[in-house]
């Protein structure tokens, strides 16, 4: 199995980090020892960094860094990806709603693709407004970006490291990575995953994040796709 880099942004997740570490160890031990967990603390206001330092001191698989000030999920995700050394990068959340048991399925699916996106096949235990806003956000994103990602809001993904070549990250880019990869000619597929309830702490996303806050980013992606260079070389000589 190629070396894996699990990239995890962290913001105020002090109650989840110990269990996250235990679950990753439990899942990775029978699969491979050639992996790293790259965590970026986005200037958390709780004890997240203290706990991350304690775990990293005891587990050489953990590589940690922290921002001087809060920069957002896209920046934390990108910083982790840039620091990662694995051949395959897996992005997942620190809140335990992404089950590490799905990682082998992601890696297996990469045999037929460059990027594999998780699609939550069951309804989460959210209130009706949160579920509705998520469905509307998915529809709007796909409509405006001309995509067919069934669960665009899910950032549980695995991709080959070279997919990052040529990608220009921006604030909010973590929501549109499948589209950005496809614009570079990468093959993107989806696999079903089963979401879990948050173990502890509070969600960082609500109606505002899903429906309105990312709308400007969506328009930017739509503009980028409309201005994308499209050509096909008919013949080559001397190459």
Quick one: pLDDT at residue 154?
A: 84
Please indicate, yes or no, if residue 228 is contained in any of the structural domains.
no
- The pLDDT value recorded for residue 140 is 55
Q: What share of the chain is helix, strand, coil (3-state, %, to 5)?
A: 40, 15, 40
pLDDT at position 173 = 81
Indicate the helix (H) or strand (E) that contains 39.
strand 35-41
Residue 219 lies in a domain: no
Tell me how far apart the 2 most distant CA atoms of the chain are, in Å.
62
Which stretch, 92-106, 145-159, 194-208, has highest mean pLDDT?
A: 92-106
Report how far residue 87's alpha carbon sits from residue 163's, in angstroms, rounded to the nearest whole number. 10
Q: How high does pLDDT run on average in the chain?
A: 84
Lowest model confidence (mean pLDDT) among 12-16, 186-190, 198-202, 218-222:
198-202
Whether 140 maps to a domain, the answer reads: no
Contact 115, 180 (CB under 8 A): no
Residue 172's pLDDT band (boundaries 50, 70, 90)?
A: confident
Domain that holds residue 110: 4-125+154-197
In contact, 156 and 93? CB cutoff 8 Å: yes
CATH of the domain at 99: 3.90.550.10
pLDDT over 70 percentage in the chain: 73
> According to the model, what pLDDT value does residue 166 have?
84
Instruction: Output phi, psi for 187, to 5 deg.
Output: -90, 125
User: Is the confidence at residue 186, as pLDDT, over 90?
Assistant: yes
Total number of domains constituting the chain: 1
Q: Is residue 142 part of a domain?
A: no
């Amino acid at each position: 199995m190629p070396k894996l880099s699990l990239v995890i942004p962290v913001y105020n997740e002090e109650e989840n980090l110990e269990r996250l570490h235990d679950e990753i160890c439990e899942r990775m031990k029978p699969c491979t020892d050639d992996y790293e967990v790259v965590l970026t603390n986005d200037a958390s206001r709780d004890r997240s960094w203290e706990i991350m330092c304690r775990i990293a001191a005891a587990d050489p698989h953990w590589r940690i860094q922290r921002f001087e000030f809060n920069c957002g999920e896209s920046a934390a995700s990108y910083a982790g990806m840039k620091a990662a050394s694995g051949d395959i990068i897996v992005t997942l959340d620190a809140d335990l709603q992404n089950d590490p048991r799905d990682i082998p399925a992601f890696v297996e699916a990469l045999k037929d693709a460059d990027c594999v996106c998780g699609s939550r096949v069951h309804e989460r235990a959210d209130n009706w407004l949160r579920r509705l806003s998520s469905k509307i956000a998915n529809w709007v994103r796909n409509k405006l970006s001309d995509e067919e990602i069934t669960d665009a809001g899910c950032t549980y993904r695995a991709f080959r490291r070279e997919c990052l070549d040529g990608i220009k990250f921006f604030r909010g880019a973590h929501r549109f990575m499948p589209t950005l990869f496809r614009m570079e000619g990468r093959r993107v597929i989806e696999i079903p995953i089963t979401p879990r309830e948050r173990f502890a702490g509070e969600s960082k996303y609500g109606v505002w994040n899903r429906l309105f806050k990312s709308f400007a980013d969506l328009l930017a992606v739509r503009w980028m796709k409309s201005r994308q260079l499209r050509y096909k070389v008919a013949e080559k000589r001397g190459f």
